[in-house]
C-alpha cells in the first residue's frame, strides 16, 4: 500500500473522539530517511535510525489529517517506501473535534431533498484544497467531471434512468472513493429537472455562462 493508503487505514482505526495521534514511519531505504523527514517537515518530525516520528491533530491542534495526507503523498510521488504505524492516540473533548460530512453522505442528502420524479440534475463538487485536484479528477473520471465554478470545482451531469449523465449510483461510488482517499469538500446539486422525456435527444441542455453543459 502507498503511505497515504496506510494513513487512511490507521485513521479508520482511531477512536471516534481522537484528538492527537503519534505516528511512526519506518523507511525501507535507510539512505532516504533524511529526504522523508524533510518532506514531512511541516509535521515537526524527528528521526531515529530508519524511523521518522511525527504527530497529527484534530480541532486545530497541530497539522491535521488532510495536511498529513498531502505530505505523505509527496513521499509516495518520490517513490519513498515504508511502513506507517500508530504509536499512540489521545481523545479530545467533543467540542474540540470538527467533524466533516463525507462527500457520499452529502450526495445522499442532496438526492433525498429532490422531488420523487426527478430525472436530470447538474451538480458540483468543491474540494477543500487544490492539492486534491489531480487525484479527485482521476477518482471522479466516471462522472465525466468538468472544471467549472472556481479553482477547486468540478461539475457533472446525472441522469436517473435514461439520457445524458452518470447514474446516481455511480456518482455515489465515485464520491465514496474520494472519501476513502481522504479527499474533503462539499457537494451541491445546482439544478434539477423532473419528469423529462427526451425525444431524439440525449436529454435536456443547460446553458451556464453562455455555453451548454
Closest C-alpha among 164, 166, 69, 79 to residue 125: 166
- The backbone torsions φ and ψ at residue 92, rounded to the nearest 5 degrees and listed phi first, read -120, 155
pLDDT at residue 99 tops 60: no
Q: Please count the CA atoms within 13 angstroms of the CA of 106 that sit on its side-chain side.
A: 19
Burial 35-62 (b: 16+ CB within 10 A, else e): ebbebbeebebebeebbbbbbbbbbeeb
Looking at domain 3-96, its CATH class is alpha beta
pLDDT band at 97 (very low <50, low <70, confident <90, very high): very low
CATH topology of domain 103-199: Alpha-Beta Plaits (3.30.70)
Least confident of 146-150, 151-155, 163-167, 200-204: 200-204
Side-chain half-sphere of 181: how many Cα atoms within 13 Å?
22
Distance CA 86, CA 103 (A): 26
Q: Residue 96: what pLDDT?
A: 45
Is residue 203 pLDDT above 80, yes or no? no
Domain boundaries defined on the chain: 3-96, 103-199
Q: Mean of the pLDDT values across residues 26-54?
A: 90
Answer for the pair 76, 4: CB distance below 8 angstroms, yes or no. Answer: yes
Mean pLDDT of the chain: 85
Distances (CA, A) of 18 to 98, 145, 175: 11, 34, 24
d(CA 129, CA 170): 24
3-96 and 103-199 share one fold: yes
Identify the pLDDT of residue 87. 92
Amino acid at each position: 500500500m502507498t503511505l497515504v493508503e496506510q494513513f487512511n487505514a490507521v485513521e479508520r482505526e482511531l477512536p471516534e473522539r481522537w484528538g492527537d495521534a503519534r505516528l511512526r514511519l519506518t523507511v525501507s531505504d535507510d539512505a532516504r530517511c533524511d529526504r522523508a523527514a524533510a518532506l514531512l517537515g511541516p509535521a515537526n518530525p524527528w528521526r531515529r535510525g530508519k524511523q521518522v516520528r511525527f504527530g497529527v491533530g484534530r480541532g486545530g491542534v497541530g497539522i491535521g489529517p488532510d495536511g498529513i495526507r498531502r505530505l505523505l503523498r509527496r513521499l509516495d510521488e518520490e517513490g519513498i517506501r515504508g511502513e506507517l504505524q500508530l504509536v499512540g492516540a489521545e481523545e479530545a473533548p467533543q467540542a474540540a473535534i470538527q467533524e466533516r460530512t463525507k462527500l457520499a453522505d452529502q450526495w445522499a442528502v442532496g438526492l433525498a431533498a429532490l422531488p420523487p420524479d426527478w430525472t436530470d440534475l447538474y451538480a458540483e463538487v468543491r474540494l477543500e484544497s487544490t492539492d486534491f485536484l489531480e487525484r479527485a479528477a482521476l477518482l471522479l473520471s466516471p462522472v465525466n467531471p468538468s472544471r467549472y465554478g472556481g479553482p477547486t470545482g468540478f461539475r457533472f451531469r446525472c441522469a436517473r434512468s435514461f439520457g445524458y449523465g452518470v447514474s446516481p449510483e455511480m456518482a455515489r461510488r465515485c464520491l465514496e472513493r474520494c472519501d476513502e482517499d481522504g479527499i474533503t469538500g462539499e457537494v451541491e446539486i445546482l439544478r434539477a429537472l423532473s419528469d423529462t422525456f427526451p425525444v431524439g435527444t440525449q436529454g435536456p441542455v443547460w446553458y451556464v455562462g453562455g455555453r451548454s453543459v
